[in-house]
Amino acid sequence: MKRALFGITRFGKYAKYFLASMAFILQMQEEVSAQGKGNWTWGGEMDPLQEQFEVVHYSLDLEILPKIKGINGMMEMTYRALGALDTLRLDLISNYEVIKVESNGTAQRFDHHGDLLDIYPDTVSQQVKIYYRGRPPIAENPPWAGGFTWSEDGEGNHWVGLSCQHEGAKIFMPCLDHPSSKAENGVSLYIKVPFPYGVAANGRLLNQTTSSGYNYFQWATAYPISNYNVNFTMGRFHQEDKRYTSIDGTEVPMKVFVLAEHKEHAQGLLQVLENSVQTQEKYFGPYPFPKDKIAVVETPYLGMEHQTINAYGNGFKYTKVGDTAFDWLLHHELGHEWWGNKVSVADWKDFWIHEGICSYGDMLYYEANEGKQAYLDRAAAAKKQITNDQPLVMAPNTNSAAAYHPDIYTKGAFVMHSLRFVLGDDQFFPMLKAFLQEDRFTYAHQVSTEDFVAFVETYTGEELKGFFDMYLYSTKLPKLKVKRKRKRRYDVRLSNIDFSLPVEIETSDGIEVVELSRDAVRVKSDEKPIVDPNGWYLFDE
């Protein structure tokens, strides 16, 4: 299958771990806050013109030109008009020259102004081809301040990466750049690079050829995909593969792409990847993209959760957790295959669902491989980092710059930790797996916090409005009061809430669970009782 495009043929253990992950989170917030202005963010209020159509499929032809740090591209987009469509408005930054726009071979009028591309279709065909070229923005501090990373490996070979979670895919391709838009039939990538370089990208490799000093790669996804997850990395790679048997018995290709100079690390990275997949599946169910692959690629930046090709640049620095080798970065980014890529939010106001539940999965790795106390230690470390200076759920139409706050990771994970205790393991973990299996919440169907809360209440039969209103929608915390009444008698209550919470209380006789609310509970103990000794909740004490 061939098509021409500008001459291209188409184709301290816990402390150490926690400090590293928090440094990643804090730097992300600072960089995005510093650079996230105007159209260099994405999300926010939807442009009315972009509400008039839906993306069905992207097909991107791209030539990577490392010597001049440029690209030539052709994007073929199939879309579904939702009514009369006089203007097809896409996003594409002004770095690029749009050469021509076609539909079924017929030239279309267009206007590329600022970071917007308006096309005026004169056919009924709901397909458009956009030919463009230029120099993409150079990533100043990837992945926090993204763009293209034009790097070299230790042997002087080109090594090119792309990061755009904060800027959106408009920095490298024409698209409908909004979190509410997922290409429902996925993306096809046809990438041309100089010989002898390789390309690792989303989905499965369908074809690879070499001709006239160039390599051509054809990748395609079998699932819907968010724009910021479309990704590719160019380099001199060594690849290792295996067949992974998922928890449901499905065999899934598992791959790692490392620089050729690091090939001695490939087998170790493959094992670390398998360790993490097994743990994620234990708590969240089968790997979400079995028709594609499980994969990581070594990148010239720290990392990011690109669907089926997670970026990894953590230097093969593993921690021993139980009997396993663990990489905090790999595990976190892999967790987004469930929370972020399969379950995706339509508005960045709900971004805690991606980052908070995924970060909770990081804690669970310790429980699965070292036991409950290791998990509680991880939760305690996260608790110390919570600022609680704004609600987890933000205002509607939040953009990517405003969405990044450390608490979406730390407090988001801790709310899940608290919810686990409220529901108990017998309800909590099956509920998470059930949510991930609901068609209306997965793949092309996006979710909100309201969807998640409603599902939890329906699934469990519990009334949890007070819990979620306090911990997700406000910065208010239950105010804990412990008052000595007389010898061996103490009154314990949460003085500012209108609901009750099951809480552990440690007395001289041991630990018991009581329902605490605004009304005092009388507790007997030789010494002052310790409320919540295992740290399941955030309290105002």
pLDDT digits (tens, 9 = 90+) for 454-506: 999 999 999 999 999 999 999 999 999 999 988 889 999 999 999 999 999 99
Instruction: Residue 472: name the closest of 357, 375, 363 by CA.
Output: 357
What does the buried/exposed string (b/e) look like for 104-132 if buried means 16 or more CB atoms within 10 Å of the residue's CB?
eeeebebebeebbbebebeeeebbbbbbb
Query: 4-11+48-278+288-320 and 348-473: same fold?
Result: no
How many other C-beta atoms are found inside a 10 Å radius of the C-beta of residue 103? 19
Q: How many CA atoms lie within 13 A of 283 on its CB side?
A: 24
Given this model, what pLDDT does residue 14 score? Answer: 45
Separation of alpha carbons 202 and 219, rounded Å = 7
Helix 407-423 to helix 372-384 angle (10° resolution) is 140
First to last CA, the chain: 67
SS3 437: coil
Residue 246, both tokens = 């998922």
pLDDT mean over 167-182 = 98
Enumerate the domain spans of the chain.
Answer: 4-11+48-278+288-320, 348-473, 480-531
Residue 298 has pLDDT above 90, yes or no: yes
Given this model, what pLDDT does residue 5 score? Answer: 35
How many other C-beta atoms are found inside a 10 Å radius of the C-beta of residue 196? 11
Residue 20 has pLDDT above 70, yes or no: no
Separation of alpha carbons 252 and 249, rounded Å = 9
Given this model, what pLDDT does residue 520 score? Answer: 95
Residue 245 has pLDDT above 60, yes or no: yes
CA 43 to chain CA centroid, nearest Å: 15
pLDDT mean over 340-368 = 98
pTM of the model: 0.93
pLDDT mean over 80-87 = 93
Torsion (CA) 43, 410, 363, 330 in degrees, nearest 10? 50
Q: How confident is the model at residue 162 (pLDDT cuts 50, 70, 90)?
A: very high
Given this model, what pLDDT does residue 269 score? Answer: 99
Given this model, what pLDDT does residue 25 score? Answer: 52
SS3 325: strand
Contact 413, 420 (CB under 8 A): no
Given this model, what pLDDT does residue 8 score? Answer: 35
Residue 177, both tokens = 């750049």
Quote the CATH superfamily of domain 348-473. Answer: Neutral Protease Domain 2 (1.10.390.10)
Residue 107 has pLDDT above 80, yes or no: yes
User: Is beta strand 521-524 parallel, antiparallel or unpaired with respect to 489-494?
Assistant: antiparallel
Given this model, what pLDDT does residue 122 score? Answer: 85
Lowest mean pLDDT among 15-19, 121-125, 190-194, 393-397: 15-19
Residue 34 has pLDDT above 60, yes or no: no
Q: What is the mean pLDDT of the chain?
A: 93
Contact 394, 348 (CB under 8 A): yes
Q: How confident is the model at residue 128 (pLDDT cuts 50, 70, 90)?
A: very high
Q: How confident is the model at residue 23 (pLDDT cuts 50, 70, 90)?
A: low
pLDDT mean over 139-143 = 93
Residue 508 has pLDDT above 90, yes or no: yes
| More confident: 478 or 122 | 478
User: Considering the domain 4-11+48-278+288-320 in this protein, what is its CATH number?
Assistant: 2.60.40.1730
What does the buried/exposed string (b/e) look like for 515-528 if buried means 16 or more CB atoms within 10 Å of the residue's CB?
ebbeebbebebeee
Q: How confident is the model at residue 192 (pLDDT cuts 50, 70, 90)?
A: very high
Residue 26 has pLDDT above 80, yes or no: no
Residue 234, both tokens = 């160019």
pLDDT mean over 311-339 = 98
Instruction: Residue 161: name the closest of 297, 337, 27, 263 by CA.
Output: 297
pLDDT mean over 139-147 = 93
Separation of alpha carbons 537 and 253, rounded Å = 40
Residue 475, both tokens = 């910065």
Given this model, what pLDDT does residue 223 score? Answer: 99
